[in-house]
Amino acid sequence: MTAKHLVSFALLVLTLVVSACGPAAAPAPMSYAEPAVPAAPAEPAAAEERFSTGAPLSPPNDDPAADMFFKDYGVNPMVDVEDDDLSTFALDVDTGSYTVARRYVTDGNIPPQDAVRVEEFVNYFEQGYPYPPERSAFGIHIDGAPTPFAETERYHMMRIGIQGYAVPADERKDVSLTFVIDVSGSMDMENRLELVKRSLELLVEQLGRRDRVSIVVYGSDARVVLEPTRGDDHRTILNAIRKLRPEGATNAEDGLRLGYKMANQSFNPEAINRVVLCSDGVANVGKTGAGSIWEEIERYAGKGITMTTIGFGMGNYNDVLMEQLANNGDGFYAYVDDIKEAERLFVQNLTSTLQVIAMDAKVQVEFNPDVVARYRLVGYENRDVADEDFRNDDVDAGEIGAGHSVTALYEIKLYPEAEGRIATVYLRWRDPDTNEVVELSKTFDSRDLERDFEDADPYFQWAVVVAEYAEVLRESYWARGSSIGDVLVEARRVAERLPSHPDVDEFLDLVRRANRLAD
C-alpha cells in the first residue's frame, strides 16, 4: 500500500469514527515534549485535523465540510545520520499554501498553523537557478551557509534546487482542456464564481487553433455546457463561461466523473490532456473521498489525463480535498486569491502551468556520516517516500512543469572541523513523452559552503528567510527561538540585494502585517 493510499485509508477511518461519535470539538493543537537539542520533537500519534474555528466540523471527504479545512502533517524531526543517512521525498510544485496564507494576512488574520506547508512558501518564489544545458531536462543546484535563525548551536542550511528546461511559448504542446467548474451556491460567496470566470478568460485568450476546450459544470448535478471547441474560437468559449451562474448544492463527484468522461472522449494522444477543477473544495452531495472518485482519477492519470486544481474562496474552503485531488491526478494545486494570481498562472506561467516535463519525480539525499551529524528536511511532510522506493518506478511521486524550479531546504549539523563530501543528491523521474526513467546525481562538498550567511547567494538567503517565516507561522518546534520580527529584519536586508520584483515587495508587506498581527 502506498503512502497516498495510507492517507486515504486514515481519512476514511476518521470519517467512520466521527460518524459514530457525533459532533465533537476540534482537537487541541499539536504539542511537543521539550527535548534536549538536537533530539527530534515528539510526534503526534496520529495526524491531527484542525480548523480555523473551534466549531464541530465534518471530515473533508465524503461528508459536507463547513468553514476552512486544513490538515496537520506534523513537522519533520532532526535525524541522526548514523541512524539513517538517506532522506527521500517526492517533488512538489504546489503553491496553494502560500496564497491561502497570504489571503489570511491580507484580511487581517494570522493563518491557522495547519494551513502552512513550508515547501509551498519557498517554491512560490524565483530562486535564480540557471537553466540546464541544452539537451538536458534538469539541472541540480546545491549551495549552503550557516543559518542566522539557529538558536544556540551552529547549524547550516543546505538548499537543493531542481531546475527544469524552459519551453518557449510558441513551442508549447497543443492542449485538450476540460474545465470542471463548481457553480454551487457556495460559489456565490465573495463573488468567487466571478473570479473563476475572469481567471479562465485569461487562460482562454492564450489558446490557439490546435487547442481544444470542453466545459462541465456542477451544482446539485453535473452537465456539459460546452462540447469540445477549438481553442481559437474565443467567442464561443467565453460566452459559455460568462453565462455561468451559481446554483444548487455541491455534487463534486458527479462533476469530476463527467469531466473525466469528457476529457477521455476528446483525448488527443499528441497533446496535453488535462482536467482543470475550479472550486472551493466544498462537497455536500456525492462522494469525493477514498474508495470513491480517487481511484478513478488515478486510472485516468495513468492514461495521460492529469488534473490541476485551482482553489477559490475563504470562509468555507477545503484545502485538504483540493490538494489531495491534485496529488491523485498527477497534477498540481494552486489557490487564486485575486486576479493578479490568475494572471501569474494563466498568462505569465502558462506553459509551465500546462506542460509537464517530468512525471513521478523524486529526490534522495545521501548524507556522509563522517561529515554530517544530523539533518532535517524543512517541509515536505506529506511528500515522504520510503528510502527503498526511490528506484521503485511504480511508486507515485511529483510532477514538474516546463521551466519550473523546485527547492528543498535541509538544516544540517556538521561535525566540528570535518571536511569532505556532505551529501550526494539523486534526482529520478519519468519522461512523459518516452516513458524513459532518467536519474541524475550531484555531490556537495564542505568546501562549497559559504562561511557566513550574508555571503551566500541572495536567492539562497531569501529561501531561508521565507522558510523561517512559514516555520514561525506554523509554530514549528524548530523555530521556537524566532519571531516574525526576526524574519522581517532579515527579509528587509536580503530584499535590498535582490532584483526589484513585485513578489519580493509583497512578501515584505505581508511580513510587516503579520508582525503587527502577532503583537
Q: Are 110 and 473 in contact (CB under 8 A)?
A: yes
Give per-residue pLDDT as tens, 284-319. Answer: 666 665 456 888 899 999 899 999 999 998 888 889
pTM: 0.86
CATH classification (class only), 170-354: alpha beta
Q: What is the pLDDT of residue 136?
A: 86
Task: Burial-class residue 110 by CB neighbours within 10 Å (0-12, 13-18, 19+).
Answer: middle
User: Which residues, listed in sequence order, are joined to residue 162 by a DSSP beta bridge?
Assistant: 140, 406
CA atoms within 13 A on the CB side of 268: 18
Nearest of 467, 484, 480, 481 to residue 519 by alpha carbon: 484
Q: How far apart are CA 294 and CA 325, in angstroms?
A: 7
In the chain, where the domains are located: 120-168+360-455, 170-354, 459-518
Look at the block and give the residue holding cell 521556537: 480
Q: Letter for the amino acid at 228?
A: P
For residue 83, give the C-alpha cell: 541512524
CATH number, domain 120-168+360-455, options 2.60.40.1230, 3.40.50.10070, 3.40.1190.20, 2.30.29.30:
2.60.40.1230
Q: What is the pLDDT of residue 108?
A: 94
Q: Are 123 and 411 in contact (CB under 8 A)?
A: no
Q: What is the pLDDT of residue 152?
A: 63
Spatial neighbors of 109 by CB under 8 A, at least 6 apart, are: 517
Q: How far apart are CA 172 and CA 403, in angstroms?
A: 12
Give per-residue pLDDT as tens, 371-386. Answer: 999 999 999 999 999 9
Q: What is the pLDDT of residue 289?
A: 58
Q: Are 163 and 405 in contact (CB under 8 A)?
A: yes
Q: What is the pLDDT of residue 186?
A: 87
Intervals of the chain under pLDDT 70: 1-66, 151-152, 284-292
